[in-house]
Chain A
């Protein structure tokens, strides 16, 4: 297979793919470059000098609102959502391995959670909280709103994994006298750990970037995406790009860290 010549179709498609990648990354690199705009530079090219001026601007309260606070809130919320998403989807995935009354309904409810427009969930939770006399806040109503977005991804991924998971390993463990907890802890969990970490990554990044569902549910204090969304209408300096660069680099770091973790685990398992 490797020796035969690539058909012409390959080169056409490769060019198409390259264009697609350029389309994905081109605009992002434009704001990356423009965030180093000089102090007198504007929102478009050319660069009017090169400086860290706008990055410095980012950390002054009055220039961009509460960047530090909203970042901390988004980070904390992302971690909370990640932990709950991993645990709840794992449990649900295990539940779906057996038949139980309402399994189909619960499955379609998860799918519904994915397809119901975000703004409807935002509105619903907002109105529900106000009718119950509860104060909406990012850690209560916002937290729940984010879970309706991350959980279906987690549940569907776990569902897919357990669909292909051979029960033979568990049967072997049981035959060797393992309790059901031991079977889970020492056999099942190590095997599903890498995708489970993937679910965690999804949980964190989806929450960290989510804003349509947060719109009506964050209460008094903004999360970072809401802060950025607000800035799109009233900030006309490259500080917007600086913020975009910083948060995007942070996302890249999180993704790279997670992938590194998964690869390290796979390598360790390969050695063992």
Chain B
């Protein structure tokens, strides 16, 4: 469609033009984002920081300046164990998703030859991640349960005499479900950086006599590091924040920091939960800051 307009033809309405100084435009455009993040991110975090010093009883919080929310939390052996457990989940899930994510992205980027096929296969990986996390978590129950698919198969095949108990409601189930939920957050950024690797570099390496393995370790892996870093940020922060997977998949037998917070919240111990939130937030931000030293996100987008 081409529209042709003649100057001066049509209603000669005198248009009032509102002139905005050019320098101001950016600020106006950025204002909505600033307002929303200010009101629903900065302010709530400041509020948590404040409340973490408040006193409370079974029904209410009292503005005050007490530090026992912190000393109680950090002085308890249970808290430390919970933090260690959360870090353990984060590390295991990170290692598995990095391994799986790398090879999936590598296959898509370097072994699938047509870009149409690439898009289709990438989409196949993406679609489940746009569906409900809880449903995807629950979907493991008929697979892993005592009478689930795997156990039935194992028993019928005579491999084990009795159903294996630790498949569901265990740390194993938690890790499996987290890998299931979060791998895409690793695949996407790695795939993205791999697609931007100049293919002539690979040819040059091959011409210089590099084997496939050498190309992988000396060219592709170093150049995919930014993608791995971004994926790591996603996976680590998601696992550190997780409470539902731990709760549902461990059947209440395992703990995470966020789950501990959630329990405190359901007991209306908001200041205690807030103190935990501050510690958790500091830990997560430190981890992210450490990863950001390796990669400049603004350049990688």
Contacts and interface: CB of A to CB of B under 8 A. Distances in A.
Interface string A183-220: 00000000000000000010001001101100110000
A7 B212 contact: yes
Nearest to A210: B133
Given A92-B33, A147-B36, A30 B131 contact: no
Contacts of B152: 45
A172 interface: no
Contact of A251 (B25, B26, B39, B132): B132
A44 B138 CA distance: 12
Contact of A156 (B130, B142, B149, B301): B301
A7 B27 CA distance: 54
Query: Secondary structure of the A side of the interface?
Result: helix
A255 B127 contact: yes
A95 B277 contact: no
Interface stretch (A51-59, A61-69, A124-132): A124-132
Nearest to B233: A115
A217 B281 CA distance: 19
A123 B273 contact: yes
Contacts of A26: 143
B237 A98 contact: no
Interface in B29-48: 29-30, 32-34, 36-37, 39-45, 47-48
B37 A43 contact: no
B218 interface: no
B16 interface: no
Contacts of B141: 43-44
B36 A251 contact: no
Given A91-B33, A109-B37, A117-B258, A28 B241 contact: no
B220 interface: no
Contacts of A229: 134, 244
Contacts of B106: 13
Among A112, A252, A259, find the residue whose CB has the most chain B CB atoms closer than 10 A.
A112
Among B33, B111, B138, B280, find the residue whose CB has the most chain A CB atoms closer than 10 A.
B33
**B interface, size bucket:** 35 or more
B262 A119 contact: yes
B36 A127 contact: no
B277 A123 contact: yes
A221 B105 CA distance: 41
Interface residues of A, number: 92
B193 to A, nearest CB: 12
B243 A119 contact: yes
Nearest to A104: B298
A109 B34 CA distance: 9
Nearest to A10: B111
B32 A87 contact: yes
Given A95-B29, A144-B39, A24 B180 contact: yes
B1 interface: yes
B104 A17 contact: yes
A232 B40 contact: no
Given A17-B121, A30-B139, A272-B1, A232 B134 contact: yes
A215 B41 contact: no
Contacts of A95: 25-27, 29-30, 33
A244 B139 contact: yes
A160 B298 CA distance: 8
Contact of A13 (B34, B103, B132, B233): B103
A151 interface: yes
Interface in A89-126: 89, 91-92, 94-96, 98-100, 102-103, 106-107, 109-121, 123-126
A159 interface: yes
Nearest to B149: A45
Among B111, B123, B138, B145, find the residue whose CB has the most chain A CB atoms closer than 10 A.
B138
B113 interface: yes
Contact of A100 (B27, B130, B261): B27
Nearest to A146: B40
A48 interface: no
A27 B139 contact: yes
B74 interface: no
B261 A205 contact: no
Contacts of B143: 26-27, 30
B284 interface: yes
Top 5 nearest A-B pairs (CB, nearest first) are A124-B44, A117-B241, A95-B29, A144-B40, A27-B139
Given A212-B258, A248-B132, 7 more contacts: A24-B128, A31-B139, A91-B32, A119-B277, A123-B261, A163-B301, A244-B139
27 contacts: A24-B128, A27-B180, A28-B136, A44-B142, A94-B26, A95-B26, A95-B29, A106-B37, A109-B42, A110-B33, A115-B233, A115-B288, A116-B45, A117-B258, A120-B280, A121-B40, A127-B270, A128-B47, A131-B47, A147-B36, A211-B244, A212-B241, A228-B132, A232-B134, A241-B142, A247-B135, A255-B127
